[in-house]
Amino acid sequence: MSQEPVSQEPVSHAPVLEAIDIVKDLGSGAGKVRAVKGASLSLIPGELTLLMGPSGSGKTTLLSILGCILTPTSGSLRIAGVSTDKLNAEELAALRRKHMGFIFQSYNLFPTLTALENVRISLDVRGQKGFAAANRSEEVLRDVGLAYRLRSYPGNLSGGEQQRVAVARAIASSPSIVLADEPTAALDGENGHAVMALLARIAKEQHRSVLAVTHDPRTLSYADRVVRIEDGRIVGEERRPEGLDAPEIADLTKRRKAHA
């Protein structure tokens, strides 16, 4: 994997994302539901964090808030030291452009654009155009192992390949934060492992903060940290002990869960 500008800077362990006491109400009137109930979370560079919880636990809502796509009802969110409290939709979009990359469960690729163009468009919205953008897009697609699929349309790619294009799109602009929503949900075992290994590699080698929302137990072995959410509340956090290999954290998690 190529070296990113981010990785060339002095390694920092300061949080790039800090969410404190986030509350989010969805709906209104009698149908109002409190989806997130005072969640606090921070992300530091170089870590792959999993946000795990059952369906309806509020993990995707929390991810949307952390990604500045939804605004919290209360609580505070800081991205790279910038408070999002008073930012309007355009300023939040600018914050996303500058600091974030997204990976979606259904890939959300543009069906009419080739793999290369799908990556290029994420650079284009950031004002990066021309040959430099084309070269960078090609480079990241090679990094995720899709050098042979540059001109393919999403309809001609397998699910795993499409998700790798989505990963390439997310990291093309070298964001400090990569947010992934159920990145393995639509993939078979082999492709799921490949994508998670890719995310873990991005966190480690490029020194990015990667947060993946998932309820897929296959992903546990790749996590540096697992944050549990239930009924809109953070109910636990497990960190892989220093020196523990990736697969071992899965066993550790199982044992902790059994004790609880």
Partner 1 sequence: MILTLAFRNLFHDRIRLAVTLVGILFSIVLVAVQLGLYLGASNMITANIDAAKADLFITVFGAKSFEDGGMLLTSRERHQALATPGVKAVIPLIVRFAEWRKPEGGSTRVVIVGTDAEDGGLAPINLVDGTWEDIKAPEAVAIDRTYLNELGITGIGATAQVQNTRIRVRAITDGVRSFVQSPYTYTTLNRARSIFGDADGVTFYLVQTQPGANIEKVRQDLKGRLEGAEVLTKAEFRDRSLKQWLFRTGAGVALIGGALLGSLVGTVIVAQTLYSSTKDHLGEFATLRALGSSSGYIHKVILAQAGISAVVGYLLGISIALTILVLSHNTALPMVMTPGLAFWLFTLTVGMCAISALSAIVKVTKIDPATVFSK
Are 6 and 16 in contact by the 8 Å Cβ rule? The answer is: no
- All residues at 6 or more sequence positions from 219 whose CB lies less than 8 Å from its CB, including other chains: 50, 183, 184, 192, 196, 212
Residue 259 Cβ vs partner 1, minimum distance, rounded to whole Å: 33
Residue 76 Cβ vs partner 1, minimum distance, rounded to whole Å: 19
Are 249 and 218 in contact by the 8 Å Cβ rule? The answer is: no
Question: Which residues would be at the binding site for partner 1 (CB under 8 A)?
Answer: 60, 63-64, 67, 69-70, 89-90, 93-98, 100, 102, 104-106, 108, 110-113, 117, 120-122, 124-126, 129, 169, 181
Residue 124 Cβ vs partner 1, minimum distance, rounded to whole Å: 4
For partner 1, give the closer residue by CB, 153 or 246. 153
- All residues at 6 or more sequence positions from 94 whose CB lies less than 8 Å from its CB, including other chains: none
Residue 77 Cβ vs partner 1, minimum distance, rounded to whole Å: 15
CA distances from 258 to 10, 146, 247, 254 (A): 40, 40, 18, 6
For partner 1, give the closer residue by CB, 133 or 195. 133
For partner 1, give the closer residue by CB, 169 or 207. 169
Tokens found for residue 215: 């309820």
- Written as one string, the DSSP assignment of 105-127 is TT----TTS-HHHHHHHHHHTTT
Residue 97 Cβ vs partner 1, minimum distance, rounded to whole Å: 3
For partner 1, give the closer residue by CB, 109 or 250. 109
SS3 57: coil
For partner 1, give the closer residue by CB, 59 or 240. 59
